[in-house]
Structure 1
Amino acid sequence: MSESLTAFELLLQIDQRCRLLAADLPSQPARQDNWSGIGFRLGERWYVAPMGEVSEVLHEPRVTQMPGVRSWVKGVANLRGRLLPVMDLCALFGHELSPLRKQRRVLVIEHDDVFAGLMVDEVFGLQHFAQDSLEPLLMDDLDGPVSAFIQGRFQGEQHWQVFSPFALVRSSGFRDVAI
C-alpha cells in the first residue's frame, strides 16, 4: 500500500470488501416458513397481531375527547393531518388500562374505510414464529369478548395469542361508538 489512493478509489475498495463479506439473503422458501407480528400486552395477556394488519406503532398521542361516545373511545388525535380515533382496547374488552403511561402504545390500523388507533398496555416489537407452530385455541385461551378476534396461538416463553385487528374493525360492536 505504498501508492496513494484517492478517496473515491478507497471507497471502491471498501465497497468490494463489503460485497465479498456480505451474507446472502435467505432464499424465498425460508422466508415463507416464518410468521411475524407485533407483540403487545393487554392486562396480563400477551397477544401478537399479524404484521400486515398494523400500519404503525405510536407512543400515546394527545387526544381530544369527544362527547356522546362510549367510554372506551379515548378521543381523536391528529396524525400528520389525519384525524385518528383512538380506542382503549383494554376498556373495550372489560379490562383496566395500565397506569404506566410511558409503556402505553397505539397500534394504527388502516383497513377498508376504517382508520383507527388501538391503545394497548405495552408493545414488545416484532415477534417471529415458525409458521407451522401456530396452534389452535384451547378452552383456557378463550377469555371473554376478545376471544372472537383470536385466531390461534404461538407457544414461546409466553403464550402469544394471535389477535386480528382487521376482524375487530369489521365487527359491528367496534363501529358502534355512539352512546
Structure 2
Amino acid sequence: MWRGVGYRVGQRLLASEFDEVVEILPLPQLTAVPGAQPWMLGVANIRGNLLPVVDLRLFLEGERTVLHEGQRVLVMRQPGGNVALTIDELFGQRSFLEEQQSSHEALSGGRYSGFIERVYKVGGHAWGVFSLDRLSRTPEFRQAAA
C-alpha cells in the first residue's frame, strides 16, 4: 500500500510522498519579485523565513491558477530552502493499493511526464504520484529569474 498527500492541479489528481511535503498552508501574503518568471508569484514571510511561492499549474501547463479565498499552498523541500506551490484543491491523505496501479499515459503528458512516477486508478479517477523531489532538481524550476 502506498500513502501520500492528495491534491489537484488543473484537472489532474496528484499525490506526493509524505516526506516530500513539509506542510500545507493558506496562501500567504506575497511580495512580487521583479524580473522573475511569470510562474514565480513572489515571496512570502513564513515565521521569519522568506519562501518563494510558485504557481505550479502555470509552470507545468502554461495556465495561471485562479487564486481564491481559502487557496492553499503545499510547501516542499528543495536544496537551499523550502518552496511553496499553489494547488487548486487539497484532498489530504490518500492510500492506494498495488492492484490499483495503472498505465502512466493518461496523466503523464506534456511537462508532467518527468514528474509522474506511477498512476493509480480509483473509482474511475486516475491519480498520479508526483515527485516533488524531481521537480526541485529540474534546472528550469531552480532558475526562477526571467
TM-score (norm 2): 0.91
Question: Which residue pairs with 1:68 in the alignment?
Answer: 35
Matched, 1:46 2:13: yes
> How large is the RMSD of aligned CA atoms in angstroms?
1.5
Opposite residue 111 of structure 2, the aligned amino acid is P
TM-score (norm 1): 0.75
More helix by share: 1
1:54 and 1:136 map into 2 onto residues whose CA distance is 25
More strand by share: 2
Question: Which residue pairs with 2:119 in the alignment?
Answer: 153
2:3 and 2:81 map into 1 onto residues whose CA distance is 23
Question: Which residue pairs with 1:144 in the alignment?
Answer: 110
1:42 and 1:148 map into 2 onto residues whose CA distance is 16
Question: Which residue pairs with 1:90 in the alignment?
Answer: 57
List runs of 5+ in structure 1 lacking aligned partners: 1-33
1:168 Cα deviation from its structure 2 partner:
0.2
8 Å contact from structure 1 (residues 37, 127) kept in 2: yes
2:130 and 2:107 map into 1 onto residues whose CA distance is 12
1:131 Cα deviation from its structure 2 partner:
4.2
1:153 and 1:142 map into 2 onto residues whose CA distance is 9
List runs of 5+ in structure 2 lacking aligned partners: none
**Identical positions, percent:** 35
Q: Which has the larger radius of gyration?
A: 1
